[in-house]
Structure 1
Amino acid sequence: MPNKRILLLAGDFVEDYEVMVPFQALQMVGHEVHAVCPEKEAGDACPTAIHDFEGGQTYTEKPGHNFELNHDFDAVDPADYDALVVPGGRAPEYLRTYDEVLEIVRHFFAEDKPVAALCHGLQILAAADVLEGRTCTAYPALEADVRGAGGNWEDEVTRDGNLVTAQAWPGHPDWLAGFLDVLGTNIDHAEPAAADD
Protein backbone atom coordinates (compact mmCIF):
# COMPACT_ATOMS: atom_id res chain seq x y z
CA MET A 1 0.00 0.00 0.00
CA PRO A 2 1.26 3.51 -0.72
CA ASN A 3 2.22 5.79 2.13
CA LYS A 4 -0.65 7.74 3.67
CA ARG A 5 -1.19 11.35 4.61
CA ILE A 6 -2.27 11.43 8.26
CA LEU A 7 -3.72 14.29 10.29
CA LEU A 8 -2.82 14.49 13.99
CA LEU A 9 -4.87 16.74 16.30
CA ALA A 10 -2.67 18.33 18.95
CA GLY A 11 -3.34 20.99 21.56
CA ASP A 12 -1.76 22.59 24.58
CA PHE A 13 -0.93 20.00 27.24
CA VAL A 14 -1.53 17.05 24.96
CA GLU A 15 0.00 13.97 26.61
CA ASP A 16 3.70 13.88 25.74
CA TYR A 17 4.10 10.20 24.78
CA GLU A 18 0.71 10.10 23.09
CA VAL A 19 1.64 12.84 20.63
CA MET A 20 5.39 12.27 20.23
CA VAL A 21 5.39 8.49 19.78
CA PRO A 22 2.72 8.17 17.06
CA PHE A 23 4.00 11.31 15.28
CA GLN A 24 7.49 9.87 15.03
CA ALA A 25 6.54 6.21 14.54
CA LEU A 26 4.17 6.93 11.66
CA GLN A 27 6.82 9.05 9.95
CA MET A 28 9.39 6.32 10.56
CA VAL A 29 7.39 3.84 8.47
CA GLY A 30 6.99 6.36 5.66
CA HIS A 31 3.69 8.12 6.29
CA GLU A 32 3.32 11.89 6.03
CA VAL A 33 1.96 13.29 9.31
CA HIS A 34 0.56 16.80 9.69
CA ALA A 35 0.35 17.86 13.34
CA VAL A 36 -2.06 20.76 13.82
CA CYS A 37 -3.75 22.76 16.58
CA PRO A 38 -6.57 25.33 16.35
CA GLU A 39 -5.34 28.93 16.29
CA LYS A 40 -1.75 27.79 15.62
CA GLU A 41 0.48 27.50 12.56
CA ALA A 42 3.43 25.40 11.47
CA GLY A 43 6.41 26.20 13.67
CA ASP A 44 4.26 27.02 16.70
CA ALA A 45 4.55 24.70 19.68
CA CYS A 46 2.14 22.97 22.03
CA PRO A 47 3.46 22.37 25.55
CA THR A 48 2.90 18.75 26.54
CA ALA A 49 2.05 17.06 29.83
CA ILE A 50 3.56 13.80 31.02
CA HIS A 51 0.95 11.58 32.63
CA ASP A 52 2.26 8.69 34.67
CA PHE A 53 0.83 5.89 36.74
CA GLU A 54 2.59 5.92 40.11
CA GLY A 55 0.16 4.21 42.48
CA GLY A 56 -2.36 6.99 43.06
CA GLN A 57 -6.06 6.78 42.34
CA THR A 58 -5.41 8.58 39.05
CA TYR A 59 -2.41 9.60 36.97
CA THR A 60 0.15 12.20 38.00
CA GLU A 61 0.98 15.11 35.70
CA LYS A 62 4.35 16.72 35.06
CA PRO A 63 5.60 19.25 32.49
CA GLY A 64 6.70 17.66 29.23
CA HIS A 65 8.33 18.94 26.06
CA ASN A 66 7.34 21.60 23.56
CA PHE A 67 5.86 19.72 20.60
CA GLU A 68 6.40 21.63 17.36
CA LEU A 69 3.51 21.69 14.91
CA ASN A 70 4.37 21.18 11.25
CA HIS A 71 1.18 22.37 9.50
CA ASP A 72 -1.31 25.23 9.73
CA PHE A 73 -4.67 24.29 11.24
CA ASP A 74 -6.50 26.79 9.00
CA ALA A 75 -5.06 25.08 5.91
CA VAL A 76 -6.54 21.68 6.80
CA ASP A 77 -9.03 20.14 4.40
CA PRO A 78 -9.90 16.74 5.90
CA ALA A 79 -10.64 15.40 2.42
CA ASP A 80 -6.89 15.62 1.74
CA TYR A 81 -6.09 13.07 4.46
CA ASP A 82 -6.28 9.30 4.60
CA ALA A 83 -6.42 8.89 8.38
CA LEU A 84 -6.69 10.70 11.72
CA VAL A 85 -4.83 10.41 15.05
CA VAL A 86 -6.38 11.82 18.24
CA PRO A 87 -4.00 11.74 21.24
CA GLY A 88 -5.04 12.23 24.84
CA GLY A 89 -3.86 14.38 27.71
CA ARG A 90 -5.54 17.60 28.81
CA ALA A 91 -5.90 19.00 25.28
CA PRO A 92 -9.05 17.06 24.25
CA GLU A 93 -11.09 18.71 26.99
CA TYR A 94 -10.79 22.08 25.26
CA LEU A 95 -10.26 20.93 21.67
CA ARG A 96 -13.78 19.48 21.70
CA THR A 97 -15.14 23.01 22.07
CA TYR A 98 -13.98 23.92 18.54
CA ASP A 99 -16.64 23.27 15.91
CA GLU A 100 -13.90 22.94 13.29
CA VAL A 101 -12.30 20.09 15.24
CA LEU A 102 -15.62 18.25 15.54
CA GLU A 103 -16.31 18.70 11.82
CA ILE A 104 -12.89 17.28 10.98
CA VAL A 105 -13.56 14.23 13.15
CA ARG A 106 -17.01 13.72 11.63
CA HIS A 107 -15.50 13.74 8.14
CA PHE A 108 -13.23 10.78 8.92
CA PHE A 109 -16.11 8.75 10.33
CA ALA A 110 -18.52 9.68 7.55
CA GLU A 111 -15.94 8.57 4.96
CA ASP A 112 -14.98 5.45 6.98
CA LYS A 113 -11.32 6.48 7.06
CA PRO A 114 -8.95 5.03 9.69
CA VAL A 115 -9.00 6.78 13.07
CA ALA A 116 -6.66 6.06 15.99
CA ALA A 117 -7.64 7.61 19.32
CA LEU A 118 -6.52 6.95 22.85
CA CYS A 119 -6.90 8.02 26.43
CA HIS A 120 -8.76 11.35 26.74
CA GLY A 121 -8.86 11.72 22.94
CA LEU A 122 -12.19 9.89 23.14
CA GLN A 123 -13.65 13.07 24.68
CA ILE A 124 -13.39 14.63 21.22
CA LEU A 125 -15.02 11.63 19.54
CA ALA A 126 -17.84 11.66 22.09
CA ALA A 127 -18.41 15.39 21.52
CA ALA A 128 -18.44 14.81 17.75
CA ASP A 129 -21.22 12.22 18.29
CA VAL A 130 -19.45 9.48 16.32
CA LEU A 131 -19.34 6.69 18.93
CA GLU A 132 -22.92 5.42 18.64
CA GLY A 133 -22.75 1.61 18.34
CA ARG A 134 -18.93 1.60 18.24
CA THR A 135 -16.87 -0.70 20.44
CA CYS A 136 -13.95 1.24 21.89
CA THR A 137 -11.94 2.10 24.95
CA ALA A 138 -10.43 5.21 26.57
CA TYR A 139 -8.87 6.24 29.85
CA PRO A 140 -10.85 4.15 32.38
CA ALA A 141 -12.44 7.21 34.03
CA LEU A 142 -14.10 8.00 30.68
CA GLU A 143 -16.16 4.81 30.55
CA ALA A 144 -19.29 6.81 31.44
CA ASP A 145 -18.52 9.32 28.67
CA VAL A 146 -18.11 6.58 26.07
CA ARG A 147 -21.28 4.80 27.18
CA GLY A 148 -23.16 8.12 27.33
CA ALA A 149 -22.17 8.75 23.70
CA GLY A 150 -23.61 5.36 22.71
CA GLY A 151 -20.33 3.45 22.58
CA ASN A 152 -19.72 -0.10 23.76
CA TRP A 153 -16.93 -0.21 26.35
CA GLU A 154 -13.90 -2.53 26.34
CA ASP A 155 -11.00 -2.64 28.81
CA GLU A 156 -8.24 -3.22 26.26
CA VAL A 157 -6.90 -1.98 22.94
CA THR A 158 -9.85 -2.32 20.61
CA ARG A 159 -10.42 -2.28 16.88
CA ASP A 160 -13.90 -1.68 15.51
CA GLY A 161 -13.74 -1.44 11.74
CA ASN A 162 -11.36 1.43 10.99
CA LEU A 163 -11.43 2.77 14.58
CA VAL A 164 -8.53 1.75 16.84
CA THR A 165 -8.58 2.85 20.49
CA ALA A 166 -6.42 2.38 23.59
CA GLN A 167 -6.66 3.41 27.23
CA ALA A 168 -3.35 5.28 27.45
CA TRP A 169 0.27 5.25 26.27
CA PRO A 170 1.13 1.86 27.82
CA GLY A 171 -1.06 0.43 25.03
CA HIS A 172 1.07 1.96 22.26
CA PRO A 173 2.50 -1.32 20.87
CA ASP A 174 -0.91 -2.93 20.25
CA TRP A 175 -2.61 0.39 19.39
CA LEU A 176 -0.03 1.40 16.79
CA ALA A 177 0.10 -2.13 15.37
CA GLY A 178 -3.69 -2.08 14.99
CA PHE A 179 -3.60 1.34 13.34
CA LEU A 180 -0.85 0.28 10.92
CA ASP A 181 -2.98 -2.74 10.06
CA VAL A 182 -6.05 -0.64 9.17
CA LEU A 183 -3.78 1.69 7.19
CA GLY A 184 -2.52 -1.30 5.21
CA THR A 185 1.07 -0.59 6.20
CA ASN A 186 3.43 -3.50 5.64
CA ILE A 187 6.72 -3.45 7.52
CA ASP A 188 9.51 -5.68 6.33
CA HIS A 189 11.40 -7.09 9.29
CA ALA A 190 15.01 -7.22 8.14
CA GLU A 191 17.43 -9.51 9.87
CA PRO A 192 20.08 -7.63 11.87
CA ALA A 193 23.34 -7.18 10.02
CA ALA A 194 26.01 -9.63 11.05
CA ALA A 195 28.86 -8.14 13.02
CA ASP A 196 32.20 -8.05 11.20
CA ASP A 197 34.68 -10.54 12.59
Structure 2
Amino acid sequence: MKKILFLTGDFTEDYETMVPFQMLQMVGYEVHTVCPNKKEGDTIKTAIHDFEGDQTYTEKPGHNFVLNYTFDDVNVADYDGLVIAGGRAPEYLRLNKTVIEMVKYFFNENKPVAAVCHGIQILTAADVVRGRKLTAYPAVAPEVTMAGGEFQDIPADKAIVDGNLVTSPAWPGHPELIKGFLDIMGAKITL
Protein backbone atom coordinates (compact mmCIF):
# COMPACT_ATOMS: atom_id res chain seq x y z
CA MET A 1 0.00 0.00 0.00
CA LYS A 2 1.34 3.42 -0.94
CA LYS A 3 1.75 6.02 1.79
CA ILE A 4 0.94 9.71 1.65
CA LEU A 5 2.35 12.33 4.02
CA PHE A 6 -0.25 15.02 4.72
CA LEU A 7 0.96 18.32 6.26
CA THR A 8 -1.64 20.33 8.13
CA GLY A 9 -1.92 22.42 11.28
CA ASP A 10 -4.04 24.58 13.52
CA PHE A 11 -6.47 26.77 11.58
CA THR A 12 -5.95 24.89 8.38
CA GLU A 13 -8.93 25.19 6.05
CA ASP A 14 -11.44 22.54 7.14
CA TYR A 15 -12.34 21.16 3.70
CA GLU A 16 -8.72 21.31 2.55
CA THR A 17 -7.79 18.86 5.30
CA MET A 18 -10.90 16.71 5.74
CA VAL A 19 -11.85 16.14 2.10
CA PRO A 20 -8.45 15.20 0.58
CA PHE A 21 -7.63 13.07 3.62
CA GLN A 22 -10.84 11.08 3.23
CA MET A 23 -10.63 10.92 -0.59
CA LEU A 24 -7.12 9.51 -0.50
CA GLN A 25 -8.08 6.94 2.13
CA MET A 26 -11.12 6.01 0.06
CA VAL A 27 -8.95 4.97 -2.90
CA GLY A 28 -6.70 2.86 -0.70
CA TYR A 29 -3.74 5.00 0.36
CA GLU A 30 -2.36 5.02 3.89
CA VAL A 31 -2.45 8.72 4.77
CA HIS A 32 -0.46 10.09 7.71
CA THR A 33 -1.69 13.49 8.89
CA VAL A 34 0.98 15.38 10.80
CA CYS A 35 1.70 18.76 12.35
CA PRO A 36 4.93 19.98 13.95
CA ASN A 37 4.97 19.75 17.75
CA LYS A 38 1.98 17.39 17.74
CA LYS A 39 1.65 13.65 17.97
CA GLU A 40 -0.77 10.93 16.97
CA GLY A 41 -4.12 11.50 18.68
CA ASP A 42 -3.63 15.25 19.13
CA THR A 43 -6.14 17.52 17.43
CA ILE A 44 -5.83 20.59 15.27
CA LYS A 45 -8.51 23.24 14.99
CA THR A 46 -9.78 23.90 11.49
CA ALA A 47 -11.44 26.96 9.98
CA ILE A 48 -14.12 27.04 7.30
CA HIS A 49 -13.37 29.53 4.55
CA ASP A 50 -16.21 30.52 2.28
CA PHE A 51 -16.71 32.81 -0.67
CA GLU A 52 -19.69 34.99 0.12
CA GLY A 53 -19.19 38.03 -2.10
CA ASP A 54 -16.73 39.89 0.14
CA GLN A 55 -13.32 41.12 -0.98
CA THR A 56 -11.79 37.97 0.49
CA TYR A 57 -13.02 34.73 2.02
CA THR A 58 -14.89 34.64 5.30
CA GLU A 59 -13.67 32.48 8.17
CA LYS A 60 -15.74 30.49 10.65
CA PRO A 61 -14.82 27.86 13.25
CA GLY A 62 -14.48 24.38 11.77
CA HIS A 63 -13.96 20.99 13.34
CA ASN A 64 -11.33 19.48 15.57
CA PHE A 65 -9.36 17.13 13.34
CA VAL A 66 -7.51 14.22 14.97
CA LEU A 67 -3.96 13.67 13.70
CA ASN A 68 -3.19 10.04 13.02
CA TYR A 69 0.61 10.14 13.10
CA THR A 70 3.38 11.78 15.13
CA PHE A 71 5.35 14.47 13.29
CA ASP A 72 8.65 13.53 14.96
CA ASP A 73 8.28 9.91 13.75
CA VAL A 74 8.11 10.86 10.05
CA ASN A 75 10.78 9.36 7.79
CA VAL A 76 10.10 11.06 4.46
CA ALA A 77 11.70 8.19 2.51
CA ASP A 78 8.74 6.00 3.60
CA TYR A 79 6.26 8.11 1.61
CA ASP A 80 5.22 8.03 -2.03
CA GLY A 81 3.59 11.47 -2.11
CA LEU A 82 2.96 14.68 -0.17
CA VAL A 83 -0.21 16.72 0.31
CA ILE A 84 -0.22 20.21 1.84
CA ALA A 85 -3.44 21.75 3.12
CA GLY A 86 -4.20 25.46 2.94
CA GLY A 87 -5.79 27.91 5.34
CA ARG A 88 -3.80 29.90 7.88
CA ALA A 89 -1.59 27.00 9.01
CA PRO A 90 0.95 27.33 6.14
CA GLU A 91 1.97 30.83 7.23
CA TYR A 92 3.51 29.40 10.39
CA LEU A 93 4.30 25.86 9.16
CA ARG A 94 6.69 27.37 6.60
CA LEU A 95 8.79 28.68 9.48
CA ASN A 96 9.57 25.13 10.61
CA LYS A 97 12.95 23.98 9.29
CA THR A 98 11.91 20.30 9.29
CA VAL A 99 8.78 21.06 7.25
CA ILE A 100 10.93 22.84 4.66
CA GLU A 101 13.41 19.94 4.54
CA MET A 102 10.53 17.48 4.07
CA VAL A 103 9.11 19.46 1.16
CA LYS A 104 12.53 19.76 -0.49
CA TYR A 105 12.97 15.99 -0.21
CA PHE A 106 9.80 15.31 -2.24
CA PHE A 107 10.93 17.71 -4.96
CA ASN A 108 14.52 16.43 -5.00
CA GLU A 109 13.18 12.88 -5.41
CA ASN A 110 10.55 14.00 -7.96
CA LYS A 111 7.76 12.46 -5.88
CA PRO A 112 4.16 13.64 -6.32
CA VAL A 113 3.12 16.76 -4.41
CA ALA A 114 -0.32 18.36 -4.12
CA ALA A 115 -0.88 21.75 -2.51
CA VAL A 116 -3.99 23.89 -2.27
CA CYS A 117 -4.76 27.53 -1.50
CA HIS A 118 -2.26 28.98 1.01
CA GLY A 119 -0.42 25.63 1.18
CA ILE A 120 1.66 27.01 -1.68
CA GLN A 121 3.28 29.37 0.87
CA ILE A 122 5.20 26.36 2.15
CA LEU A 123 6.40 25.60 -1.38
CA THR A 124 7.60 29.17 -1.94
CA ALA A 125 9.42 29.14 1.42
CA ALA A 126 11.10 25.86 0.43
CA ASP A 127 12.26 27.47 -2.85
CA VAL A 128 10.86 24.67 -5.01
CA VAL A 129 8.61 26.61 -7.42
CA ARG A 130 11.24 28.33 -9.54
CA GLY A 131 10.39 27.90 -13.23
CA ARG A 132 7.19 25.94 -12.49
CA LYS A 133 3.63 26.70 -13.48
CA LEU A 134 1.35 26.65 -10.46
CA THR A 135 -1.59 28.34 -8.85
CA ALA A 136 -2.63 29.33 -5.33
CA TYR A 137 -5.17 31.49 -3.58
CA PRO A 138 -4.86 34.83 -5.47
CA ALA A 139 -3.41 36.64 -2.42
CA VAL A 140 -0.43 34.25 -2.60
CA ALA A 141 0.31 35.14 -6.26
CA PRO A 142 3.01 37.73 -5.37
CA GLU A 143 4.86 35.12 -3.30
CA VAL A 144 4.76 32.64 -6.18
CA THR A 145 6.16 35.27 -8.56
CA MET A 146 8.86 36.42 -6.13
CA ALA A 147 9.90 32.77 -5.66
CA GLY A 148 10.36 32.41 -9.43
CA GLY A 149 7.17 30.48 -10.14
CA GLU A 150 4.81 31.19 -13.03
CA PHE A 151 1.51 32.00 -11.30
CA GLN A 152 -1.54 30.73 -13.20
CA ASP A 153 -4.72 32.71 -12.51
CA ILE A 154 -7.42 30.05 -12.84
CA PRO A 155 -10.94 29.59 -11.43
CA ALA A 156 -11.17 28.24 -7.88
CA ASP A 157 -12.65 24.95 -9.13
CA LYS A 158 -9.65 24.11 -11.34
CA ALA A 159 -6.13 22.75 -10.82
CA ILE A 160 -2.77 22.91 -12.60
CA VAL A 161 -0.39 19.97 -13.06
CA ASP A 162 3.29 20.67 -13.76
CA GLY A 163 5.40 17.53 -13.62
CA ASN A 164 5.21 16.09 -10.10
CA LEU A 165 3.27 19.09 -8.75
CA VAL A 166 -0.48 19.70 -8.74
CA THR A 167 -1.97 22.89 -7.26
CA SER A 168 -5.40 24.47 -6.91
CA PRO A 169 -6.52 27.92 -5.73
CA ALA A 170 -9.02 26.66 -3.14
CA TRP A 171 -11.22 23.78 -1.96
CA PRO A 172 -13.70 24.02 -4.88
CA GLY A 173 -10.84 22.58 -6.97
CA HIS A 174 -10.64 19.31 -5.02
CA PRO A 175 -12.01 17.11 -7.85
CA GLU A 176 -9.29 18.31 -10.25
CA LEU A 177 -6.61 18.52 -7.56
CA ILE A 178 -7.13 14.97 -6.35
CA LYS A 179 -7.57 13.61 -9.90
CA GLY A 180 -4.28 15.26 -10.88
CA PHE A 181 -2.56 13.92 -7.78
CA LEU A 182 -3.87 10.39 -8.39
CA ASP A 183 -2.62 10.60 -11.98
CA ILE A 184 0.91 11.58 -10.95
CA MET A 185 0.80 8.92 -8.21
CA GLY A 186 0.18 6.40 -10.98
CA ALA A 187 -3.23 5.35 -9.67
CA LYS A 188 -5.53 3.49 -12.06
CA ILE A 189 -9.22 3.78 -11.30
CA THR A 190 -11.58 1.86 -13.54
CA LEU A 191 -15.31 2.32 -13.61
Classify the TM-score, shorter chain. Answer: over 0.9
Task: Give SS of 2:90's match.
Answer: helix
| Aligned match of 1:195 | none
Structure 1 distance, partners of 2:189, 2:23, is: 12
**Which of the numbers 116, 119, 122 marks the counterpart of 1:118?**
116
Structure 2 partner of 1:170: 172
- What is residue 50 of structure 1 aligned with on the other side? 48
Runs of 4+ in 1 over 6 A off after TM superposition: none
Is the radius of gyration larger for structure 1 or structure 2? 1
Question: Which residue in the other structure is 1:153 paired with?
Answer: 151
> Partner of 1:177: helix, strand, or coil?
helix
Aligned residues: 187
Q: CA deviation at 1:98?
A: 0.4
2:60 counterpart of 1:62: yes
How far apart, in 2, do the equivalents of 1:144 and 1:118 lie? Answer: 16
Amino acid paired to 2:162 = D
Note the C-alpha offset of 1:126. 0.4
In the alignment, which residue of structure 2 is the partner of 1:99? Answer: 97
Matched residues in 2 for 1:113 and 1:30: separation? Answer: 18
TM-superposed CA distance for 1:188, in Å, is 2.3
Deviations 1:36-73 (A, max 9, x none): 00000000000000000000000000000001000000
Q: TM-score, normalised by structure 1?
A: 0.94
Q: Gaps (5+ residues) in structure 2?
A: none
Which TM-score applies when normalising by structure 2? Answer: 0.97
- Percent identity of equivalent pairs: 64
CA offsets per residue over residues 122-179 of structure 1, 9 Å max, x none? 0000001111111100001111000000000112311000100000001111111111
Mapped partners of 1:135, 1:17: distance in 2: 24
Q: CA RMSD in A?
A: 0.6
Please tell me the residue identity of whatever aligns with 1:37. C
Matched, 1:23 2:25: no
